[in-house]
Structure 1
Amino acid sequence: MKFGKMLYCATSLIFGCIMLSSACKLAISNYKGKLVTNQMLQKRILKIEITLKDTLERQSKMLKTVMEKAHKDPLPHDMCLEDVSFKKMTGQSSNYKRFRARAGNDGDLSTFFHTGNQRNPYWWVDLGSSFSVHHVEIWNRRRNGNRLHVMTVSVGPTLRRMTRCAYYRGPARNGSHIILKCRKPIKGRVVKLALRTRSYFHLAEVKVFAYKKTCSPK
């Protein structure tokens, strides 16, 4: 939040200085012939231009400092996060009627994946390559939302080699939006969500947020 305010102030000040400087130059060009003999007025205009130039340089340094701080501050660093799961390959432990695993990351909250009633049902997504996963966001189904409870989120290179990212005790409410952050970024290609009980498992949408390839996690 502080970073955003500082960046906004710095940009606004620099823009203001540029506009004032342009206005002064325009005034001088319009009245150049009339002001040649008025040395006092010329000196005043020159002083204004020097002041504006100095102010612009100070604000440029301020903006540079703010941008350098962005690389040290962990909050702006989270701007490197992106959803890496959209429409990637998915699977689930079982199928219930026509509801398939691909509905879990299709970007449509009116659809949902749905497993059968079984012990420890799960859903997974293959990200296509390895990412440092930061957190997972889920949108619960609008009916029977209380079935979402005692759920683990795991990340790993394969389904057989997983590390726990987060745990949700629940129960959840219908249509609730839940954010589950890993205790620390976990590198992996596969993300798995599983209930630790016998039940149906269904969610409207799952998004996996990881660091972009151009960023490195703190």
Structure 2
Amino acid sequence: MLFSFDTKICLSTLKMQQVVFIIVYCVCFLTACQITISGGKFNSDVCKGYGELESKVDILTAKVDRSLQMLKTINELVKDNKPNNGVIKNVALKKRIQQSSWYAKTRSWGNYICCATEYANDGNATTFSHTNYENSPYLWVDLGHVYDIKRIEIINRSDHAGSRLHDVDITVGPTLNELSLCVHYKGPGKTKEHLVFHCNKQMRGRYVKVTIKGKEYLQLSEVMVFAPEISEYLKNVDIIVGSTLKEMSLCAHYKGPAKLKEHLIFHCNRQMSGRYVKVTIKAKQYLHLSEVMVFATEISE
């Protein structure tokens, strides 16, 4: 760590020449610290305050050493508490779903359990959804909440005609009118094929839509969307700090909702000091927390 500052400390009485000393203060973990002073000529009679400056530098050195030691201690405390992305699960399972059309308006076709929309996310890979033969057939699922999408998996129809799955756009967005491309699949697919897709960039959304870009049937055994599970309880949280429970100010607000097992880190909106830290949900709700940790610099009494 390197601290450098220019200190104007002397002026000559005749020529008013300005002498600037550059004090370079080095704080190192592995090597000894040193102070190097360089600059122009100076009058020792005029610059009698150097001894006081040296004393102040010694005090600063001691304070920095204490701060470094505290940082090392904090690092040891938090190194095993890395942020957790939460429990990853299929958040599309049995959620609200819709397709562009419903082939034959039937729930069975001969020996097949077909062709209702909800067969595409019922958790059973032996059933499948089925649209009519049409332009740009699609199927979308409403996840119920906005999620951080980790991956999308599709299981193709399990009996035959797997090659019908081709030229597919998978889109994600907060509403059906605000969808962006997650990934494109050229295909063609294979019967019973289990396809795994990762979006081209990190995406968040409530809706996931599968569309064939052409005239075709769309028939899917299963559409699965994997994302960190969300806690319904930890949201709209105020974190406040104060010297007493009656003198508290807002440190940070968390809109949420949180993910299960998520490790959240907050920094106050400004420098704050206090004895009490309070976590409050701004609604009628359960508050359940695994751990509350407050990291700070101890103030000398």
TM-score band, normalised by shorter chain: 0.5 to 0.7
CA contact 1:91–1:125 (8 Å) conserved in 2: yes
Of the candidates 163, 166, 189, which is equivalent to residue 183 of structure 2?
166
Q: 1:91 aligns with which of 60, 76, 98?
A: 98
CA distances 1:20-72 after superposition (whole Å, capped 9, x unpaired): xxxxxxxxxxxxxxxxxxxxxxxxxxxxxxxxxxxxxxxxxxxxx8x946837
Asked if 2 retains the 8 angstrom alpha-carbon contact of 1:156 and 1:187, the reply is yes
Query: Residues 90 and 68 of structure 1: is their aligned pair in 2 closer, same or farther, counting only changes over 3 Å?
Result: same
Whole-angstrom distance in 2 between the partners of 1:198 and 1:173: 18
Verify: 1:208 aligned to 2:187, yes or no: no
Structure 2 contact 155–194 (Cα < 8 Å) conserved: yes
1:1-218 maps to which residues of 2 (within 5 A)? 68=79, 71=82, 80-97=87-104, 98=106, 99-142=115-158, 143-213=160-230, 214=259, 215=262
The normalised TM-score by structure 1 is 0.63
Q: TM-score, normalised by structure 2?
A: 0.46
The 2-side partners of 1:162 and 1:90 are apart by 16
SS in 2 for 1:204: strand
Q: For residue 159 of structure 1, report the CA deviation from its aligned partner.
A: 1.3
- Is the Cα contact below 8 Å between 2:141 and 2:207 reproduced in 1? yes
Name the SS of the counterpart of 2:211 in structure 1. Answer: strand
Deviations 1:142-178 (A, max 9, x none): 2100000110111111111101111111101100000
The structure whose Rg is larger is 2
Query: Aligned equivalents of 2:212 and 2:85: distance in 1?
Result: 29
Q: Deviations over 1:102-139 (max 9, x none)?
A: 00000011110000000110001001111111110010
Determine the C-alpha separation between the residues in 2 that align with 1:68 and 1:182: 30
**Counterpart in 1 of 2:72?**
none
SS in 2 for 1:190: strand
Distance in 1 between residues matched to 2:93 and 2:138, nearest whole Å = 18
Note if contact 1:134-1:184 (Cα within 8 Å) is conserved in structure 2: no
Asked if the contact 2:91–2:224 (Cα under 8 Å) also holds between the matched residues in 1, the reply is yes
Segments of 5+ residues of structure 2 without an aligned counterpart are 1-75, 107-114, 231-258, 264-301
- Following superposition, the deviation at residue 189 of structure 1 comes to 0.8
* 1:84 counterpart letter in structure 2: V
User: Any idea what SS the aligned residue of 2:204 has?
Assistant: strand
- SS at structure 2 position matched to 1:102: helix
Coordinate RMSD, CA, aligned: 2.0
Matched residue count: 147
Post-superposition Cα deviations, 1:71-118, rounded to whole Å, max 9, x if no partner, equal 37xxxx667421101000000001102111100000011110000000
Supply the AA of the counterpart residue of 1:196: K
- Give the residue type in structure 1 aligned to 2:193: S
AA paired with 1:94?
S
Identity, in percent, stands at 35
Contact 1:101 1:114 survives alignment (8 Å): yes
Contact 1:166–1:180 under 8 Å retained in 2: yes
Q: What's the secondary structure of 1:184's corresponding residue?
A: coil
* Counterparts of 1:70 and 1:135, CA distance in 2: 25
Structure 1 unaligned regions, length at least 5? 1-64
